[in-house]
Amino acid sequence: MNAPSPETRLHRDCPSCGTASANAPLVKYSHPDWPMKQCTHCGLIFLEWVPNYSALYDEIGWTKQHKIEEDRRLKQQPILARLDMMTRWRLGLLGEATPAGGMKGFAKPGPVLDVGCSNGKAFKELAPGYIPYGIEIESSAAANAASIFEPRGGKVVNADGVSGLAQLPDDFFTGITLWSYLEHEARPREALEQTRRVLKKDGVALVKVPNYACWNRVILGAKWPGFRHPDHVQYFTPQTLERLATPLGFSVKFRLYGRVPFNDNMYAILRPV
């Protein structure tokens, strides 16, 4: 992405607890154009400035950013990147490694929601009895997802995560996947508030985010693949994810493999309390 202008980025304080960012220390991995800070109260690592979604709509679409990131990794770390791509099957060895599999494993049949559903591929293999819904900001991807979801009785909302969730009814979904989504969301607190509202009392929300506390980040430093400026706007550890979700009415548990330090990602199970 080109250097930001005042029109293409927005300032924010800590998106988890609201503590002012002015006095928060810079993190050593901070990008010159996108200052990364650590909250002095809750410890969350976050970008002080984030892309203005309305101004950069086409540029920040997931499908485009995913390809840019893949090409960047292949150029910087060709051996590791290719090895990772060739062995993605390993992610399923210790549990359900896809949103559709996670819904079957943890949520009851009924309407289920994928926030940031892209082209709908993640819910394409959803088991019978589950009705797919999605939220996607990128219009072309949302249309493709709708062609998969609507024949099964579901629908897709073409909007950003928070705005899309606000359009959905209370106490409606048996399961929600926030899969590789919260690290992109400029308003993660509001997103989880809305998730809690639309989730049934016996429902479950599954979260996958990069794990800032992993060993790979310590070893690789600024070359850690979890760093994507400004596509990723906050970086969670198990502790900071709990500090965000618990006050909003969720219990937080991690799957068997969900917080191991040698995994770049973590997988959390959120349930209403």
Those residues with Cβ within 8 angstroms of residue 248's Cβ, 6 or more apart along the chain or in another chain: 189, 192, 193, 196
Q: Does the pLDDT of residue 90 top 50, yes or no?
A: no
- In 42-171, where do the E strands start and end? 45-47, 49-51, 110-115, 130-136, 155-158
Long-range contacts of 217-223 (CB under 8 A, 24+ apart): 217/264, 221/29, 222/29, 223/76, 223/77
Q: How confident is the model at residue 86 (pLDDT cuts 50, 70, 90)?
A: low
CATH topology for the 96-272 domain: Rossmann fold (3.40.50)
pLDDT in tens, 117-143: 999 999 999 999 999 999 999 999 999
Q: Does the pLDDT of residue 93 top 60, yes or no?
A: no
pLDDT at 84: 52
Q: Does the pLDDT of residue 67 top 60, yes or no?
A: no
Whole-angstrom distance, CA of residue 254 vs CA of residue 250: 13
pLDDT at 260: 87
pLDDT in tens, 6-38: 678 899 999 999 999 999 999 999 999 999 999
> Average of pLDDT values for 67-88?
58
pLDDT at 56: 45
Q: Does the pLDDT of residue 87 top 60, yes or no?
A: no
Whole-angstrom distance, CA of residue 82 vs CA of residue 74: 7
Spell out the domain ranges in the chain.
Answer: 96-272
The half-sphere exposure of 123 on its side-chain side, counting CA atoms within 13 A, is 37
CB neighbours (10 Å) of residue 73?
Answer: 18
- Cis previous bond, 230, omega within 30: yes
pLDDT at 99: 94
If you average pLDDT over every residue of the chain, what do you get?
88
Identify the bridge partners of residue 183 per DSSP, sorted by sequence position: none
pLDDT in tens, 173-219: 999 999 999 999 999 999 999 999 999 999 999 999 999 999 999 99
pLDDT at 70: 56
**Ramachandran angles phi, psi of 74, nearest 5°:** -65, -35
Whole-angstrom distance, CA of residue 212 vs CA of residue 95: 21
pTM score of the predicted model: 0.86
